[in-house]
Structure 1
Amino acid sequence: MNKIGSLIFVLVALNLATSQVIKIPIEKRIPETETNGSFLDDDQQVAVAQLINHDQYMYSGNIEVGNSKQTYTVDFDSGSNLLWLTSKNCPSCVKDGYKHSYDCTPEDGCTLTTTPAQVTYGDGSGVKGHIAKVPVSIAGIAPVTEALLLVEQSIRNGNLQADGLMGLGVYDENNTGNVAFVNQLFKQGLITKSQFSFYLGFGKTESELTIGGVDESKLANPSEIYYHPLVLNGRTDDSQRWRVAFKSISFGNKQIPMTSQNTGIVDSGTSLAYIRNDIYKEWINYLKTITKLNPIFQGLSVFYSVKCGTTLPDLTFTLTDVNGVDRNYSLPSSFYILNQSGTCILGIQGNSVTGDLQFLLGDVFMRRFVSVFDYTSLSMGLSVSVANPASAVVTKNHRNGHLALLAIGLVALAGLIFLTLRALRK
């Protein structure tokens, strides 16, 4: 072998040695605090308030930012594109409870641009600021230059427990060439495959984000992972999402066919699963024929609870894979019935249709199926996970403790009054 050939061999070997699959532990935040209302509010209202609090029900892990490699805890979100952290000059961020802000300085490798940006979420919360460019690394590997929304205004994000959010979208239009963070790692030879995958468990600390591949130990059957082509819009910007077409939805003996325009996303930034309103109403009406559903009103939304321990029929989503084969993904009721402080609530909600994005399959769905997002083939894979509903952490209702203390106090007061009256009679 000549010297040039030897050099190429060494470089290839070095690249393979540094390429890796990165497993990042992510933690499920369990709401254990009171709601803002009175502790005498209805138990089921409190249970729903805990359930829909997106600030509590996210999965978060760590990234390193800047030349100083400061560590920040971020929520990993497959349903959005931008990475954002709060600026040190953000009064509303302090008010909303953010504890760690980022100071963008040239010494730390950060360049602040004049490009404005904002993110708005479905519950009306959001952030506003300007784009910065900064070195970002994960799990200690070499950093890549990543667009960062430096937040200057926080909107309705009270009690957010993370420092920010990292969007894991298909493209990032604020990066050079619109290349998203994970795809940048691949192009620089830092990971073996241009993909990431989520395993979401029921326990607080068992979940993980895998960058560069799939952790097969989290698959019930490693030979059964099926990929589904993305529905492409012809653009390479933030408007392109990890969107796939649905073939049908089934429950009981009923199958509702879809068209190619009936699409949805698997979204780690959404706690529940949302299905098209007309299908949701039909499903609820079907469930009412086989069990008792208790409506719980929360604002303009209606949630339903069932007796804890109830088993309901699977809700099945059918998608066509890249080989043209229909694959069924059945969600058992042990995954979609969520025990909140002893109140068991259906984790499926109706979704008002805006365009052709009609389904948002969040954590309720993702705990059943490991989800894989592939940049090279522009596809999304699904495989049954090893997550076990029996390991679920039941949220605590601290308000019940207050009620117990109140009861004890009333008993003690009654006893004191009795003793006082008895003493006066003597």
Structure 2
Amino acid sequence: MNQRVAILLLCVLVCGSDAFHRITMQRHKHRRLPHARHLWASRRHIQRKFGVTSAASTTASPPSNSNSSSTSTSTPSEAIEPLFNAYQTQFYGPCLVSDQPFTVQFDTGSSDLWIPNSNCTSCIKTCGNAVFQTSKSKTFKANGNPFSIKYGIGKVSGVIASDTVSVEQISIENQGFGLVSQTATCSSFDGIFGMAYKAIAATGQTPPFYSMIEQKLVDKPIFSFHLKSNTSDGGSLILGGFNSSLFQGSLTYVNVTQQKYWKFTMDYIGFPSKKCRRCNGCQAIMDSGTSLLIGPTEDIKQLNTKVGATYNSTNGLWEVPCGRISYLPVLELGIAGKKFKVRPQEYIIAFEENVCISGFMELAGLNFWIIGDVFFREHYLVFDLEQNRIGIAKAK
């Protein structure tokens, strides 16, 4: 058997007959935001996104923005999308609308696709976003119906339209999306690519991953995240399957309890000692669009106290001396009877040379947990729409 035949046979054994499309994540290199302002905005983002009130909303004010400027289980059609790593706290990737490029946040905590329109003055002059030029697309269709979605410290609004939307080799025809003409805040991305259940689509349009399934662009209704920190390669998003070479052992599955968000039952969250655990069979949402671990006020206070964090009422964040990181305990999340660990190097985020920020954030009125990128960076996450479940394994 010659070498070429051997390699081809190996590929068949590893990948089956399925094609493999990969979206690679990379570090975001432009429109930098200071850490404190970025994390403060995340608090307000969660407040609006899930309809709850920040515990520090009456006392905290946004930090100064003086430095800111605007082998595998695979399928016949499986896209692997490169993602950008922005300050180790959020991850983004590229997509095309018509043939116009945008950087979008792939968000399992929302279900809408939206991008800035060319008539959005603040998107261009203040935020420096890429904007959509309707006159340059031959496949653009105007709907004209207005929409408005609350995000961050404000909202985005505009009109609904449709066009061809492409992610790597996958092109969705007549995908409905929002064209934003007004926004009250800037982000490190141009738009949102929602990946939650269609029941919460604020625009009323079919979410793009559902469109991929309906148009038979992916064989399996599964997507998966492999996020990476402290590297120029931010990891990847696989549309249509998952890659078993990117995680250790086998996947642990937990059922979705509410087919709106990716909500599930979490056994507990805390530190190895049972006295340092919070939550007892509580509900949690797996949210790639959230940077931190968000929970009820008292629970978060207890976790932050355990790691020696002090609350800064000026910026509404919990601060930890960076020199303490190597001495802090490993965080544990109990899910489906298994322990999943997060190292302090991941749940503490560098802010300045001698100040680091806790990845545990509180929201008053919250009665569930939001599991964000602090957890994603340590684990491989599989989102299965067919069986309404989430698969979790330690990432390589």
**Shorter-chain TM-score: what band?**
0.7 to 0.9
Name the amino acid aligned to 1:381.
Answer: G
- Matched with 2:181 is 152
- Matched with 2:299 is 279
Q: TM-score, normalized by length of structure 2? A: 0.75
- Mapped contact 2:271–2:329 kept (Cα < 8 A): yes
Structure 2 unpaired stretches of 5+: 1-15, 43-85
RMSD: 3.0
**Distance 1:280-1:228 versus aligned 2 partners, 3 A rule:** same
Structure 1 unpaired stretches of 5+: 1-15, 36-46, 234-239, 321-325, 387-426
Percent of aligned positions with the same letter in both sequences? Answer: 22
Tell me which of 254, 264, 268 is aligned to 2:288: 268
Q: Distance in 2 between matches of 1:33 and 1:134?
A: 30
Name the amino acid aligned to 1:27.
Answer: Q
Q: Within 5 A, what are the aligned runs for 1:37-76?
A: 48-49=36-37, 52=40, 57-66=89-98, 69-76=99-106
- Mapped contact 1:50–1:340 kept (Cα < 8 A): no
- Matched with 2:164 is 135
Q: Distance in 2 between matches of 1:227 and 1:173?
A: 23
Q: SS of the residue aligned with 2:334?
A: strand
Q: SS of the residue aligned with 2:104?
A: strand
Q: Distance in 1 between matches of 2:175 and 2:111?
A: 12
Name the amino acid aligned to 1:370.
Answer: Y
Q: Distance in 2 between matches of 1:20 and 1:347?
A: 41
Name the amino acid aligned to 1:48.
Answer: A
- Mapped contact 2:304–2:358 kept (Cα < 8 A): no
Q: Distance in 2 between matches of 1:378 and 1:34?
A: 36
Name the amino acid aligned to 1:312.
Answer: L
Q: Distance in 2 between matches of 1:355 and 1:88?
A: 37
- Mapped contact 1:28–1:205 kept (Cα < 8 A): yes
Bigger CA radius of gyration = 1
Name the amino acid aligned to 2:162.
Answer: K
Q: Distance in 2 between matches of 1:22 and 1:131?
A: 29
- Matched with 1:198 is 225
Once the two structures are superposed, residues 173-192 of structure 1 have per-residue CA deviations (whole angstroms, 9 ceiling, x without a partner) of 66999643223223333223
- Matched with 2:6 is none
Q: How far does residue 366 in structure 1 lie from its aligned partner after superposition?
A: 0.6
Once the two structures are superposed, residues 259-279 of structure 1 have per-residue CA deviations (whole angstroms, 9 ceiling, x without a partner) of 55x322222212222222211
- Mapped contact 1:62–1:73 kept (Cα < 8 A): yes
Q: Distance in 1 between matches of 2:372 and 2:204?
A: 29
- Matched with 1:167 is 194
Q: Within 5 A, what are the aligned runs for 1:11-30?
A: 20-29=19-28
Q: Distance in 2 between matches of 1:99 and 1:259?
A: 43
* Structure with the bigger percentage of strand: 2
Aligned residues: 335
Q: SS of the residue aligned with 2:375?
A: helix
Q: Distance in 1 between matches of 2:377 and 2:391?
A: 14
Q: Distance in 2 between matches of 1:384 and 1:88?
A: 42
- Mapped contact 1:311–1:334 kept (Cα < 8 A): no
Name the amino acid aligned to 1:65.
Answer: V
**Distance 1:82-1:33 versus aligned 2 partners, 3 A rule:** closer
